[in-house]
Structure 1
Amino acid sequence: MSIPRLYLDAPLAEGNEVDAAPGQAHHIGTVLRRSPGDAVRVFNARDGEFEARIEAIRKDRGRFALGPRCRAPGEEPEVRLLLAVLKRDPMDWVVEKATELGATLIQPVVTRRTIAERTKAERLGAVARGAAEQCERLSVPDVRDALPLHRVLDSWDGAPLVVAMERSLAQPLRALPAGRPIALLVGPEGGFEAAELDDLRRRPFVVPAALGPRILRAETAAVAGLAALQAIVGDWV
């Protein structure tokens, strides 16, 4: 039986006891049917990962006793994803896969052809935490509220922003210069409007890029683009 991994933002240290985050007690006790004394692992990016055991568990609360640290914290490349808001199921899927692929920031954006303009950062953050627990990451990406694309661009910090531009003369991703942090922007299913493309090309930090000869769905482009970035300038190098 595998040992559950649980993300906790509380300070972690051997010998401490920490409370379960909201929802964790129900998942551990009711869904996974674990009991006091059973083993778990608790982690975050700041302190690392610790062996632990369930000290107490009820329907809506739990407490863990921390043992020795089994993984020290470490650096990871800063790879960001900006994605035009999708419908709920595809959006959840992209957040899950982006977490598995090492995205450190997930920023939903609203464009002129965005399918859905509403998304809940809290719910998507829970999807990201669950994915981090499953894929053995120590960190959880920062999932933010959706914002209009121009607002995100106006406040951008200057990091290279790779924009997936279909049917363009953009260079393939393998031609990207090395450097971190780096970000990927994927537009809506209908693509960017001409005015949006003109605005993007005027931004000095924007790097137009092609994701191959085929037209990809937005969620496919996000996953393919992140995988390529990790292979070129990330932790797959």
Structure 2
Amino acid sequence: MTDTTPRPRFRLFVDAPLSAGIAVALSRDQTHYLASVMRAEVGEMALLFNGRDGEWLARVAALAKAGAALVPERQTRPQAAEPDLWLLAAPLKKDRTDLVVEKAAELGVSRLWPVFTRRTNAGRVNAERLRAHLVEAAEQCERLTIAELAEPAPLDKVLASWPAGRLLLFLDEGGGGPPLAQVLNGLAPGPLALLVGPEGGFDAEERRMIAARPFARAVGLGPRILRAETAAIAALAVVQALAGDWGLGPRACG
């Protein structure tokens, strides 16, 4: 039988455990969002998820300036595995970094790792802001987990600490690798990571350093030179189509 229950107007990530009848208190920001932005009312329904217990339909039980509480009533989706897909990206200008983070979350990245290269223009990242983007994107796109934000690190240290068993595909704008789709179609299942360089790309020494690692393979994205943020989004879409959870190919990340 088709569920004809109207979909709630809002969906929120919470840290608390989710189970039927156990009230969940919201943060001050979430309370403000419900009361002042969405004009929610007591008795209205919402969707909650915490990355562990699936998604739950919950009723607003209390809503005041001092705080809000929602009571889960039933699970709408069980927790499910997602592709084990990492994105390593050099920080860009603020708005462009925000765009990459948001779209990476929407495209199912499990771990986002800011990597500093020789041509990286940004000297630091605002981890709190990036985590907020990851949460907001997960709430919007209806995924069941929040992508992990790894500690930013220089490229050489990232390569030196690389975990065994994970393939690193780095986008080589210098034309040093075959097309990404071609490489994906020839791979066995396993965890993947994509590495996207900064504005201006990797320098020649960095490309040699990456290519020398046994776990790394250079790949290309066609005949045009793409902006770093465009390259990241395009590459993630190709991976999800051919190796992820879009269901268009036989291979699966993780």
TM-score, structure 2 normalization: 0.89
Q: Does 1:126 pair with 2:132?
A: yes
Q: What's 2:73 paired with?
A: 67
SS at 1:23 equivalent = helix
SS at 2:74 equivalent = strand
Q: What's 2:179 paired with?
A: 172
The counterpart of 1:116, out of the listed 122, 128, 133, is: 122
What is the aligned residue count?
Answer: 237
| Distance in 2 separating the partners of 1:87 and 1:178 | 36
Q: Does 1:88 pair with 2:94?
A: yes
| Distance in 2 separating the partners of 1:152 and 1:9 | 29
| Distance in 1 separating the partners of 2:189 and 2:28 | 38
Q: What's 2:41 paired with?
A: 35
Of stretches 210-219 and 40-49 in structure 1, the one that deviates more from structure 2 is: 40-49
Give yes or no for contact 1:178–1:232 (8 Å, CA) kept in 2. no
Q: What's 1:194 paired with?
A: 204
One-letter amino acid of the counterpart of residue 192, structure 1:
F
Give yes or no for contact 1:180–1:233 (8 Å, CA) kept in 2. no
The counterpart of 2:191, out of the listed 181, 186, 198, is: 181
Of stretches 123-132 and 53-62 in structure 1, the one that deviates more from structure 2 is: 53-62
Q: Does 1:163 pair with 2:173?
A: no
Q: Does 1:3 pair with 2:13?
A: no
> Over residues 104-143 of structure 1, what are the superposed CA-to-partner deviations in whole Å (9 max), with x where a residue is unaligned?
0000111110010211222101101101111110111001
Q: Does 1:57 pair with 2:46?
A: no
| Distance in 2 separating the partners of 1:41 and 1:64 | 10
Q: What's 2:3 paired with?
A: none
> Over residues 170-211 of structure 1, what are the superposed CA-to-partner deviations in whole Å (9 max), with x where a residue is unaligned?
111122213221010000011111111111011111110001
Q: CA deviation at 1:92?
A: 0.7
Of stretches 14-23 and 156-165 in structure 1, the one that deviates more from structure 2 is: 14-23
Q: CA deviation at 1:144?
A: 2.5
Taking only aligned residues, the RMSD between alpha carbons, in angstroms, comes to: 1.4
Q: CA deviation at 1:101?
A: 0.4
Unaligned regions of 5+ residues in structure 2, if any?
Answer: 1-6, 250-254
Give yes or no for contact 1:37–1:54 (8 Å, CA) kept in 2. yes
Identity %: 46
Rate the CA distance shift 1:219–1:4 in 2: closer, same or farther, 3 A. same
Give yes or no for contact 1:119–1:145 (8 Å, CA) kept in 2. no
Q: CA deviation at 1:2?
A: 4.5
Of stretches 170-179 and 76-85 in structure 1, the one that deviates more from structure 2 is: 170-179
SS at 2:145 equivalent = coil
Unaligned regions of 5+ residues in structure 1, if any?
Answer: none
